[in-house]
Amino acid sequence: NAGVTQTPKFRILKIGQSMTLQCTQDMNHNYMYWYRQDPGMGLKLIYYSVGAGITDKGEVPNGYNVSRSTTEDFPLRLELAAPSQTSVYFCASSGQGQETQYFGPGTRLLVL
Amino acid sequence: AQSVTQLDSHVSVSEGTPVLLRCNYSSSYSPSLFWYVQHPNKGLQLLLKYTSAATLVKGINGFEAEFKKSETSFHLTKPSAHMSDAAEYFCVVSDTGRRALTFGSGTRLQVQP
């Protein structure tokens, strides 16, 4: 049971480039989330999804997009990378009726 | 609206001595509260959670936390610190409406030999 997996582990982007951060969970969870963690800070919610085809904005959605075509996958898209998006990104999932979220190992992104 | 305040950004203890990491919360609803731990360059691991059952919650690795509604607190304790406990600890409150988590800013626990 792999849980929540994220790829890539680390990426360097130039300003204005785009990329997709991948997140997959194999626990058949309906709820999935994207957070970012800036140095010395807690996690802030970017987007979340309560099921396939349904997404909603979190606290800091600007500059990001998401889609949820399947239960398992919840990719996060950066269209025009900016230095302010340098951060560590965590994907998480939780099951219906449960609130414990299970986190992936994170993707470290550096925008130069 | 909900919020979490971790009262100490950094705590240093000696190995074998007690650990206390303090957390206060604000929530409009009956909250669910969590403590997560993050070791360096690792993801987050759930230590324990409170969901309106027993007010004293026991977690993994000897940690426990007590929910005190009158004080709006959810402090994390451990009787005896171990070197492997050195990590960042996050107190978290849940918005039951959309199941999103609100994180505190974290407390870095340092354990001295």
How confident is the model over A53-67, as pLDDT tens digits? 999 999 899 999 999
Q: Which residue of B has its CA nearest to A58?
A: B100
Give B12's strand partners.
B110
Nearest-neighbour CA in chain B from A104: distance (Å): 6
Query: What pLDDT score was predicted for residue A29?
Result: 93
Nearest-neighbour CA in chain A from B42: distance (Å): 6
Give A90's strand partners.
A35
Chain B environment of A99 (Cβ under 8 Å) = 32, 49, 51, 94, 96, 99
Percent of all residues in chain B with a pLDDT value above 90, rounded to a whole number: 68
Cα–Cα distances in Å, from B2 out to B23, B94, B104?
13, 8, 11
- Report which of residues B55 and A72 the model is more confident about: A72
Contacts with A, B 34-53, CB within 8 Å: 34, 36, 42-46, 49, 51
Query: What pLDDT score was predicted for residue A2?
Result: 77
Instruction: State the average pLDDT for chain A.
Output: 92
- Is a pLDDT exceeding 80 seen at residue B30? no
Question: What's the per-residue H, E or C state across B53-89?
Answer: CCCEEECHHHCEEEEECCCCEEEEEECCCCHHHCEEE
What average pLDDT does this structure show over B88-106?
A: 82
A2 touches chain B (CB under 8 A): no
Residue B88's closest CA among B105, B101, B113?
B105
Query: What pLDDT score was predicted for residue B53?
Result: 73
pLDDT digits (tens, 9 = 90+) for A18-48: 999 999 999 999 999 999 999 878 899 999 9
